[in-house]
Amino acid sequence: MSRHNDVLPIAVVEYFELKTLWEEYGIVGDVIPFAEYFPRGNIYEMISPDILHQLIKGTFKDHCITWVEQAIHTSAPNRKSALQVLLRP
């Protein structure tokens, strides 16, 4: 008996041919997920947004990286030297 949240994935795999699933949607239709038969291991119920991760990533990426790039461009004598600093391995 399938769980409520498993109905859509099963229906999609049964409706489309394997080739179409892979080429159009990137889904491997003939692989059974390892947690398929776990009574309380429904991946669709376990997925939740990681707010702390999003907050840290957003703060770091959007704020800190932009701030550092602006500081380097401001303090560098010209655009070429700023790019050398930013692109240095």
Give the mean pLDDT of 71-76: 92
Task: Write down the pLDDT at residue 1.
Answer: 43
Q: Is the predicted pLDDT of residue 4 greater than 70, yes or no?
A: no
Task: Write down the pLDDT at residue 2.
Answer: 47
Q: Cα-flanking dihedrals φ and ψ of residue 85, to 5°?
A: -65, -45
Query: 8 is written with which tokens?
Result: 């859509």
**58 HSE (CA, 13 A, CB side):** 6
2 within 8 A of 10, measured Cβ to Cβ: yes
Query: 57 is written with which tokens?
Result: 């990533």
Q: First CA to last CA across the chain, in angstroms?
A: 55
Per residue in 22-68, pLDDT tens?
898 888 888 877 777 777 776 666 666 677 777 788 887 788 888 98
